[in-house]
Structures are given as C-alpha cells and as structure tokens.
Amino acid sequence: MRTSVVWMALAFIGDTMISSLIDIKGISPDFSIIALVVLALAAGPVPGTVGGFTIGLIQDLSNPAVLGLHALCKCTLGFSLGSLRSRLVHGMPVVEGVVVALAVILHDLVFLLVQSRLTDDGFLRPFLTQSLPVALYSAVAGIVVIRLAEMMGILGEEE
C-alpha cells in the first residue's frame, strides 16, 4: 500500500512540477507511466491495476471529454506489466528502458486510436510527433527512476 502511494505521488509530482523543468521543445517524460511501470514491477499485477486505474482516473478528471480512457489504458497497462515482472531481467538498463518505451507507445497507441475515432489525421501525426519522442525521453528518465528505486530497495529481483 505504501509503495503504491509513493509511486502515485511521484507520478503527480513528476507530471506537474518536474516535466516543465526538463522538457525539450515541448517533449517531456511521461512520469505517470514511469511510476506505473515501477509500481507494477515492484508490487505485481493487482497493485499495478489499481494504481493504473487511480493514476488514469486522476488524469481523466482534467479532461472530461475522454473520461475513463486514461483509466482504462493505464489499468490494462498496470496489469500487463505486473504480470511480466517475474519474466523480466532485473538490473539491465536496456531492458528497463525498452519496457518503459513500449509502455508509453502502447498506452498512447490505444489512447490515440480511441480518441481519434480511427482517423489518420487524429492519430498518425500526434503519434509520430508526440508519442514516439515522449517514449524515448521516458525510457531515459525511466532508467534513472528505476535505478533510484533499486538503490532504495523498492525494486529488485524476487526471492
């Protein structure tokens, strides 16, 4: 429970305060997905699902037009990442970066497809100009956050 609250707070603080400080030409890491990745890998599928739903619902409250879409995407992502936790190699930055990048890409893929109602203009341009750069930046930032989590003893190999 404490771990979930810590990572949800990181998502909120990262998205509201840190993102604006480290953005590069309007591109900043997606701290909500980074926090969800760490939470799901540290605690498993159920806390990952609940954490994803909570983080997504909080994001949805700022945009009522798509109410529930972030919650659905992050809930599914949290469960999937939590289910993968025993299959991943811990301690390899490349693996961790790829997991974060793929999480951002999959989240944005589903989100943009539903939001755009499957039209090319509403999906392709934002995906190529926003989602892919954010995924790369999030992968780099995610490696740093995951390293910090491992040094703090929150994330590591299962015994």
What six digits make up the tokens of 99? Answer: 């997991």
Q: How far apart are CA 42 and CA 157, in angstroms?
A: 9
pTM: 0.89
Taking the C-alpha atoms of residue 159 and residue 156, their distance in angstroms, rounded to an integer, is 9
**CATH for the stretch 2-151:** 1.10.1760
How does pLDDT run across 63-91, given as a tens digit for each residue?
A: 888 889 999 999 999 999 999 988 887 77
Among all chains, which residue has been given the structure tokens 């980074």? 34
Q: What is the pLDDT of residues 34-51, one digit of tens each?
A: 999 988 988 899 999 999
Interatomic CA distance for residues 133 and 71, integer angstroms: 22
Amino acid at 105: I
* Spatial separation of the C-alpha atoms in residues 16 and 45, rounded to whole Å: 26
Domain range list for the chain: 2-151
Which long-range CB contacts under 8 A does 17-24 form with residues at least 24 apart? 22/141, 24/137
Report residue 56 as tokens.
């997504």
Tokens in use for 8? 């949800």
